[in-house]
Structure formats: structure tokens, C-alpha cells
Structure 1
Amino acid sequence: MIGSLISCKSKSKDKQWDNAGIDPTIIQNNSFGLLNQEDEVFSVLEKQNTVAKRTSGVLYFTKGHIDLSDSNSARLNNCGAYFFHGDTLSINIGIGNGFGGWGFIINYEDKRFNTEPYFETDLVIDGEAEPVYEIVYQKLALDKSFYKPGDSLFGKIDFRAIEIGQDSEKIEHSGNGYFRTRVATQ
């Protein structure tokens, strides 16, 4: 998403995998009709398509690296999905500014998932400890159980995580809302 010079600042403590709900009727939710009325939000380095419709209605809040104190800012993200290591579907909901990015990734495999917030930057500080994320709760609903490249994907996420940074500083991350994308075809 951002580039090869990026340092990924994310580490989950003993990743928590939970069962995903499967709801084939999720596509009928009014939220997707509302997304059709909005243009896509693009990261700085993404190829922009002027007819693209919004892929994410997710509100993502975090305190610390970025101040997203109102819901308009919290909606400035988009959604993409691709297969990672062959069989894990990685759903990325976030945004990049050319120097880094932030958001969260939903890893999905065999009807189970985990959620990982991330913060990326091109600034690398030697010896800086990576934050650890503890999931407080996570709920995911998808429109079907299995996906292949080229498939449309519709879903809803609701999660809360606590980031434990240096000096045991705690920062809350939360995301809630509907998203859609097409699974990348390599």
C-alpha cells in the first residue's frame, strides 16, 4: 500500500483468532447504498479512479499517533483485500499519506479472523520498541465463507484494541462499520 521504505509498527501479543459470522444478506444493508453515493477516498500514492465509489464506511478511532476526534476524519479510509501467504485473506482498512499510513488489517482464514491495528512510517528509529496490541473484542461478519481473487467481498467489523507502547502507555483503537472491496488478482 505505501511502499518499500516503510517500517511497519505493529505487533499483536499472541494473536487472538475468533470465528467470523457469515451473512449472505449483508450486501442488502443500507450502508452500501450510502457508499454508492460517495466518491472513494484514495491514499496519496494510489492510482485514482474518478468513478470509484466508497469502499469503506468504517469509523476508525485512535488516540496517539493521529488525532481522529470527529467522525468525518475517522471515515477517511478505504478498503482493499489480497491473499497473504497463499491462504490468508488480508483485508486492509486504512489510509496512506505518502510518508506512512495507519489503519487496521483483518486477517481471515478458514472462517476465523484476527484484527491488527497498524501505524507505518518512513522514519525508522533504531532500537525503538514496537507497540503490542491486545484485542478487547472483535466481531466480523462477511457475505460468504470463502473467497478467491476477483471476488467481491462485503463485510462489517466491530473491534476494540489497546496498544501498549513504550513506558506502558496505553492507546485505544476502535473500528466499526461496513466495508466492501474486490479481492486483488495479484
Structure 2
Amino acid sequence: MKATGLKSHYQLVLAITLFLFRCTDKPKDLQWDKVRIDSTISRNAVFQQLDQQQEITSFPEIPDSLLRRTSDVAYYTSQQMDSLNNPYAKFNNCRAYLSKPDNLIINIGSSDGFTGHGFIIKCKDGRFHTEAYLFSDNITENEREPIHTILYQKLTLNKMTYVIGDSLYGYIKFKSLEVNSVEDTVVHTGKGHFRAVVKADFRKD
């Protein structure tokens, strides 16, 4: 890989890391809603279907043919054409981390080393907040911080609290508006089931 390509990869990883760090706090002006609990959600037939599919990996992960799909979530934006019928709407995976004992971060999305997209679900004290993201290797200084507004968000998990190594199962349904860095308005929509093994820290992934 050329030096310029490596630089772009490192910039993308840095941008994603900084975004996840920003999600570890709980600003008072964000919309936080109550997490619903369904201890039987892991029995949903969709997870049996995911067992038959190979996992979608993201940069810098190493593909592993033994890994099974972690996400059936359809995620798309108003900038995508024919979003509901777009086969790439479900082209994502799920990762879950405990950044602190009581801060659970669920990342549903994908990246290819040049771009990354998806959304973060942050859970704390039985409540959650959802925020979409989009990264590219075209990073410029002094970009305007995107403004997100939740239209609705509903989250169901298999239990309220987790420890490292727990199996997490869930269902998300959300819709939000984003005014991005160039002041375009983008609608983000996500809906579907997901699962993950909770890890200690996203920086160790």
C-alpha cells in the first residue's frame, strides 16, 4: 500500500476513535430514552438466519469465515437512492464495548478503510441515545460539528446491564435529522435486530 493510502487509513481510524470518545460522555442536551428489556429476544428467528451468514468485517478487522453475521439492521440515509430496496442497507456489523463499567457503546455500521458509516447507540443508567455518523479519508480542519435531532428512537435489549464477555442481543428502530458540516439536511433511518459479544474497550478491537 502506498504511503498516501496508509495516511488516509490512519486518518479514518483516528476520526472514528475521536467520535467514539465523544460518545462516552452524557451531554444534558441530548435526547435520552428508556431502554426496553426483553429477555427472550435472542430466540427471535432472525438470529437463526444470521447463523447461516458470514460476518461482514470492517477495516482494520481481518476477515474470518467462521464468524457469523451480527447485524440484520437496515440503515440508510435520505441521500441514498431506493433506500428501502437497497441491498447494501444491511451491509453492516455490530460491535459492543464497555468504555466504563456503566457506559455501553453499540456500534452498528461498516468501514472499508476509506469511508465509514453507521450509527452509535450509547446506553447509560437504563437510558440510551442514538447518533448516526459518516467518515471519509477526506478530512479537513475546522469542519462544522454536525447537529443531530432525534425524531424517534426505540431500543430493546436482552438485559439491562452487561459485563465483559456477555452476549448482547437487541432491536433498534430510530429516525433522526442531521445538519451536516456543509449545512445539508440528511435523514438517517435504522431498523432491525443485532447481536454482539461485549468487549472491554473499542481501542483494543
User: Taking structure 1 as the reference length, what is the TM-score of the superposition?
Assistant: 0.89
Partner of 2:40: 25
Partner of 2:112: 97
Q: Is 1:157–2:172 an aligned residue pair?
A: yes
For residues 125-140 of structure 1, the aligned pairs below 5 Å read: 125-140=140-155
CA contact (8 A) 1:154 1:181 kept: yes
Residue aligned with 1:146, SS: coil
CA contact (8 A) 1:23 1:141 kept: yes
**How far off is 1:4 after superposition?**
5.0
* Partner Cα distance (1:68, 1:183) in 2: 34
* Partner Cα distance (1:86, 1:68) in 2: 41
CA contact (8 A) 1:59 1:71 kept: no
* Partner Cα distance (1:46, 1:62) in 2: 25
Q: Is 1:113–2:128 an aligned residue pair?
A: yes
* Partner Cα distance (1:17, 1:89) in 2: 14
Provide the alpha-carbon RMSD of the alignment. Answer: 2.4
Moved more, 92-101 or 125-134: 125-134
Report the structure, 1 or 2, having the larger helix content. 2
Q: Deviations over 1:28-54 (max 9, x none)?
A: 111111111111111132122211110
Residue aligned with 1:129, SS: coil
* Partner Cα distance (1:63, 1:174) in 2: 8
CA contact (8 A) 2:11 2:139 kept: no
* Partner Cα distance (1:146, 1:166) in 2: 35
* Partner Cα distance (1:49, 1:149) in 2: 22
**How far off is 1:168 after superposition?**
4.1
- What percentage of residue pairs aligned between the two structures are identical? 40
Q: Is 1:148–2:163 an aligned residue pair?
A: yes
User: Taking structure 2 as the reference length, what is the TM-score of the superposition?
Assistant: 0.81
Residue aligned with 1:47, SS: coil
Report the structure, 1 or 2, having the larger strand content. 1
- For residue 122 of structure 1, the aligned residue among 134, 137, 141 is 137
* Partner Cα distance (2:62, 2:164) in 1: 20
Partner of 2:11: 5
Greater relative CO (CA pairs within 8 A, separation 6+): 1
What runs of 5+ residues in structure 1 fail to find an aligned partner?
Answer: none
* Partner Cα distance (2:78, 2:46) in 1: 26
For residues 11-90 of structure 1, the aligned pairs below 5 Å read: 14-64=29-79, 69=83, 70-90=85-105
Change (3 A) 1:68 1:133: farther
